[in-house]
Structures are given as structure tokens and as C-alpha cells.
Amino acid sequence: MNKLALIVAAAVASSGVFMHLDAQPAAPGACFLFGATAYPDLQTRDQWMQALDEFEKAHFNVLRVGESSWGNLETAPGQYNFGWLREYLDELARRRIQAILGTSSYNPPQWLVAKNPDMLVELQPGVRVHPMGRKSPALTHPLYREAVRRYVRALGTAFKDHPAVIGWQLDNEIDIMMDVIDYSETTERAWRGWLKKTFTTPEEFNRRLFLVSWGQKVDSLDDVPQPRQTAERHDLPALQLANLRFRRDVMLDFLLDQAQVLRQA
């Protein structure tokens, strides 16, 4: 991916804020990127042209494309329908409009999540989210992670040299999941692994979370579940903070995994 000047990571809020990986300072006289998001897979080709005509009138020079298109681009495991996207990008290049492609990992196809229900986020232990919702898979699930890598690798290989493509958006609005505790088996397992890596011993965990308070010291890090409501509705703030840091690390690992795949494509 040496051709690309930057890799654009997750849009961390609906306002369109981006993180930039490997971004270079803008050269003197470089143009300001001005544009919007386009959804060509929801339109006919005549509608493409009509919308692009309007974009040109507005002097757009960049479009964000494909951030929700995984299921329309990989219609079955390993079967890619990239033709319509290539045609759209070709039209952008002809009009000198640039594109930022999204990896769409937040919105996986139904052939993946519906057939692997253990992949789904659990909002309470044993209570899975609906598979048709966005952000339904656990970021820690190995089958999901591998499916994301496979799709991102295929997408990167197919479009890394396209003249319209200047960068990549990893996932989408990933910060939303920072407010969600996932109680699925794979995430609980990852949580226990994170505790052992972060605190090393129960004694250090007890010390740093000040669990001498109320006599809540633990003997094993395997005995520490993720936070949930207590009988007295206490928030367990120290444990909540540790879990928030765990979720942050899971999110970062998920994004960096995709960035590495794109760099190697």
C-alpha cells in the first residue's frame, strides 16, 4: 500500500471525525478534501450519474464509499462482487473525484452472523443481540476476526492501485461500542486474559483497585467477571474503569489488525 498517502481509521463519531495513520503533512497548495458519503449500492446507475452531477456542482473532490457494503460486496464466503464498485470508482476517477473506501467491518453479512450465533454480542449473559443489527458480532470472536481479515485483504488487493482511491476508513463509529459491555464467552475469556496481562497477580489487582474496601479482595483473576449490576445497584467504579480500558484495548487491536492487513495487501 505504498501508493496511499494515508490510511484513515474509524470514524469515531457521527460528526465524521477521523484518526489518521501514517498521514504525511499536506504539501503547499494541496487541496482541501471536501465531500460526503455516497451509497452507490443503493442506487441505480442513472441515479449514480445524477448524484455525481450534483456533487460536481457542489465542487466535491472526495467521497466516502463502501463503509456499509460488506454484504453487497462479499455475497457468500469468498465470493466477491466487486464489479459495481469498480465501475463506480472508475466514474469517480473520470470526474477527478477521489474516494475513501470503508472496510465495513461493523456491518457484516447475514451469511456470517446468522450462521454463527455464538459470534453475537451478549448484552446480558446468555442474551444475544439480533443478528441483523449493526455491530452485532463480538470483536473478540476468532471467526469474525478472520472473516474481517479475509474481506479487508480482498478489498485492499482489488482496489489498492485504483486511481480514485486515496485512503481507507477502518470500521465505522466504533466508539459506540465503548458504551456496551459484551458478556459473550469469547469476550469474557479475553477479559480474563487482559486482567492477567495487565495486573499479573490477584494481589496487584486487589491493590490497584483498592479491594480491601468492603473486604472484596479476590484470590484468582479467573474469578473476576466483567461488571454488571449488583444487588444494591452499585456501579463498582474501579472495576468499571478497568473494563473500559479493556474495551479500549480490544477496539484498538481490532483496528490495528485491519490496518496491518491493508498495509500488506
Length of the chain in residues, anyone?
265
In this structure, the number of other CB atoms found within 10 A of the CB of residue 193 comes to: 13
pLDDT tens-digit profile of 182-196? 999 999 999 999 999
Residue 97 has pLDDT above 50, yes or no: yes
The residues with which 195 forms a beta bridge, in sequence order, are none
The alpha carbon of 258 is separated from its chain's Cα centroid by a whole number of angstroms, namely 9
249-265 pLDDT, tens digit each: 999 999 999 999 999 98
Can you give the residue ranges of every domain in the chain? 7-176
Residue 102's identity, in one-letter code, is G
d(CA 130, CA 148): 19
> Which pLDDT tens digit goes with each residue over 1-25?
444 434 444 443 333 334 344 545 4
pLDDT tens column, 20-78: 445 454 444 457 899 999 999 999 999 999 999 999 999 999 999 999 999 999 999 99
Percent of the chain with pLDDT over 70: 89
CA distances from 199 to 189, 196, 210, 240 (A): 16, 5, 13, 15
* pTM to 2 decimal places: 0.87
Q: Cell triple for residue 37?
A: 458519503
Q: Alpha-carbon distance 135 to 11, whole Å?
A: 14
Cα separation, 167 vs 5, whole angstroms: 7
Q: How many CB atoms lie under 10 A from the CB of residue 38? A: 21
In single-letter form, the type of residue at position 188 comes to E
Fold of 7-176: TIM Barrel (3.20.20)
Reported as type and span, the H/E element at residue 28 is: none
Tell me what the mean pLDDT of segment 97-112 comes to.
96
